């Protein structure tokens, strides 16, 4: 499905760290953070142990606590919503735009506005069941740049600013992306990146929070390091913190990857273009480009099937032909834990649910060969032609197994 691109420079820099024996909190970490901040155009960058850890810390910095509300999308990787749950906050899902599959900015505006009052208008956005009662305030909006296409940020940020609500970009899938000519990662109060090996750049495990706010940056540094204050005596703790540090070997990989980022992104773009050129299969569409997207960063290559194509059947047929694929994303609100905890039900977010049943991620990485792409697309065409549903049963439950 994916493959990290690790070159000689990564090996050399990791070796340098190992030989220096400054394995944690060393100069390589600072080098990585400085390079990253300048790359995305943020004043501060705080590296952490994963994208998930970064989301957690950013929400703490946004003041999210027990019973507070956090608006986010149900069509994402589960971590973007889990971060709110770590703080015992209540996730307020807002449905997606059915075309771009990013959170619907108009509905976010409405939700931000409605949630200022505790009456029925505000309550209709809340989950049926709520852990701490959901009596807290709306503290943050977490838009996700799904598959590397920036969410429509301007209306979201405008609504949040009006009510003093923080905006934390989940930019884990979108490094290098641009929205209306502005770089992803510098569009809200803070942004979070992830460096798992399937992302556009990797550190092994790893993540980072970027912000322009010096207060947030200091707090984030303290929180990732057991709650210690910057410059304070070793073993003096001002707040409840975590061990969310990134080690210097990982930072070294990050420094090397960042230097090659433009090349890595360009290669992914070429692989994506090669897929799109070949995708003349009826009932199969590539992800559309939103007019506000000035640059899409390619994280995964996802196709969307027309209703007459049985996605799960296609996935099985591809697997039989030796092609891995993933049903990406399953809806977060329909995961067993979320249903049990918050009472979500099928039908709650119809656009997200329709998308999650019709999208499929194909094998994708910077070094995928043209031969491999041809092979995948040929097998996909065969799989799709064998998995068309009879015309009358598109929406029906009685779909014969492919
Ligand atoms: C990858 C990813 C994350 C973070 O993942 P980690 O594995 O914790 O680094 C968060 N949100 C989204 C949308 C992601 O794709």
Q: Measuring from each residue's beta carbon to the nearest atom of ligand 1, which residues come in under 6 Å?
A: 50-52, 76-77, 79-80, 144, 170, 172-173, 194, 196, 207
Q: Which residues, 6+ apart, have CB-to-CB distance to 244 below 8 Å?
A: 48, 49, 50, 53, 54, 56, 57, 223, 224, 225
pLDDT in tens, 71-113: 999 999 999 999 999 999 999 999 999 999 999 999 999 999 9
CB 279 within 8 A of CB 286: yes
Q: Which of 39, 56, 199, 296 is catalytic?
A: 199
Tell me how far apart the alpha carbons of residues 271 and 273 are, in angstroms, rounded to a whole number: 5
φ/ψ bin of 295: left (φ > 0), alpha (ψ from -120 to 50), beta (otherwise):
beta
Q: What is the largest CA-CA distance in the chain?
A: 72
pLDDT at 238: 87
pLDDT at 393: 55
Secondary structure percentages of the chain, helix, strand, coil, to 5:
40, 15, 45
pLDDT at 400: 44
Task: Measure CA 115 to chain center.
Answer: 24
> Which of 74, 78, 173 is the best mutation target for the ligand 1 pocket, counting ligand atoms within 8 Å of the beta carbon and taking the most?
173
The three-state secondary structure class of 185 is coil
Q: Which pLDDT band holds residue 390 (cuts at 50, 70, 90)?
A: confident
Tell me how far apart the alpha carbons of residues 380 and 360 are, in angstroms, rounded to a whole number: 11
Tell me how far apart the alpha carbons of residues 160 and 92 are, in angstroms, rounded to a whole number: 14
Tell me how far apart the alpha carbons of residues 359 and 75 are, in angstroms, rounded to a whole number: 11
Instruction: Find the helix packing angle between 27-40 and 248-259, rounded to 10°.
Output: 40
Nearest Cα residue to atom 9 of ligand 1? 51
Position 128 pLDDT exceeds 70: yes
Question: Which atom in ligand 1 lies closest to the alpha carbon of residue 207?
Answer: 9
> Which of 53, 72, 77, 330 is the best mutation target for the ligand 1 pocket, counting ligand atoms within 8 Å of the beta carbon and taking the most?
77
Q: Which pLDDT band holds residue 231 (cuts at 50, 70, 90)?
A: low
- The total number of residues shown for the chain amounts to 402
pLDDT, mean over the chain: 94
Nearest Cα residue to atom 2 of ligand 1? 172
CB 220 within 8 A of CB 209: yes
Nearest Cα residue to atom 4 of ligand 1? 51
Any idea which residue has 């409840």 for tokens? 240
Q: Which residues, 6+ apart, have CB-to-CB distance to 139 below 8 Å?
A: 59, 62, 63, 64, 65, 68, 69, 70, 89, 165, 166
Distance, CA 81 to ligand 1 centroid (Å)? 11
Question: Which atom in ligand 1 lies closest to the alpha carbon of residue 299?
Answer: 15
199 is catalytic: yes
Of 310, 323, 284, nearest to 401 by C-alpha is 310
pLDDT at 392: 57
Distance, CA 25 to ligand 1 centroid (Å)? 23
Q: What is the pTM of this model?
A: 0.95
Tell me how far apart the alpha carbons of residues 402 and 399 are, in angstroms, rounded to a whole number: 9
Alpha-carbon dihedral sign for residues 248, 249, 251, 252? positive
pLDDT in tens, 21-33: 999 999 999 999 9
> Which of 79, 83, 299 is the best mutation target for the ligand 1 pocket, counting ligand atoms within 8 Å of the beta carbon and taking the most?
79
Paired with 285 in beta bridges are 304
Of 120, 10, 17, 133, nearest to 69 by C-alpha is 133
Please give the backbone phi and psi of residue 210, each rounded to the nearest 5 degrees, phi first: -115, 145
Look at 112-121, 197-206, 228-237, 390-399 and tell me which has the smallest mean pLDDT: 390-399
Tell me how far apart the alpha carbons of residues 112 and 242 are, in angstroms, rounded to a whole number: 30
Position 262 pLDDT exceeds 60: yes
């Amino acid at each position: 499905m994916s493959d990290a691109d690790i070159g000689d420079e990564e090996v050399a820099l990791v070796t340098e760290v190992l030989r220096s024996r400054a394995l944690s909190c060393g100069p390589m970490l600072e080098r990585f953070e400085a390079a990253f901040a300048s790359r995305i155009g943020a004043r501060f960058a705080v590296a952490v142990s994963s994208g998930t850890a970064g989301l957690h810390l950013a929400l703490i910095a946004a003041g999210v606590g027990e019973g507070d509300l956090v608006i986010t999308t149900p069509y994402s990787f589960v971590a973007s919503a889990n971060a709110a749950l770590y703080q015992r906050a209540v996730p307020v899902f807002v449905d997606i735009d059915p075309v771009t599959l990013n959170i619907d900015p108009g509905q976010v505006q409405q939700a931000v506005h409605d949630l200022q009052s505790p009456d029925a208008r505000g309550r209709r956005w809340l989950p049926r069941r709520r852990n701490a009662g959901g009596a807290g305030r709306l503290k943050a909006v977490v838009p996700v740049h799904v598959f590397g296409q920036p969410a429509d940020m301007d209306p979201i940020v405008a609504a949040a600013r009006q009510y003093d609500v923080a905006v934390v970009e989940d930019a884990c899938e979108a490094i290098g992306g641009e929205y209306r000519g502005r770089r992803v990662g510098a569009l809200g109060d803070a942004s979070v990146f992830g460096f798992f090996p399937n992302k556009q750049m990797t550190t092994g495990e790893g993540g980072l929070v970027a912000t322009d706010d010096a207060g947030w940056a200091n707090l984030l540094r303290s929180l990732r390091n057991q709650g210690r204050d910057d410059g304070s005596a070793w073993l003096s703790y001002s707040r409840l913190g975590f061990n969310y540090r990134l080690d210097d070997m990982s930072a070294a990989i990050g420094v090397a990857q960042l230097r090659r980022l433009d090349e890595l992104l360009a290669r992914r773009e070429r692989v994506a273009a090669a897929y799109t050129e070949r995708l003349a299969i009826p009932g199969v569409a590539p992800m559309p480009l939103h007019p506000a997207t000035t640059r899409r960063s390619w994280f995964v290559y996802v196709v969307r099937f027309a209703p007459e194509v049985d996605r799960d059947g296609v996935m099985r047929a591809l697997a039989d032909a030796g092609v891995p694929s993933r049903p990406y994303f399953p809806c977060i609100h329909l995961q067993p834990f979320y249903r049990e905890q918050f009472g979500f039900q099928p039908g709650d977010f119809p656009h997200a649910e329709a998308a999650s049943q019709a999208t499929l991620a194909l094998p994708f990485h910077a070094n995928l060969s043209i031969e491999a792409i041809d092979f995948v697309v040929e097998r996909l065409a065969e799989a799709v032609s064998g998995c068309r549903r009879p015309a009358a049963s598109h929406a029906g439950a009685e779909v014969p197994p492919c």
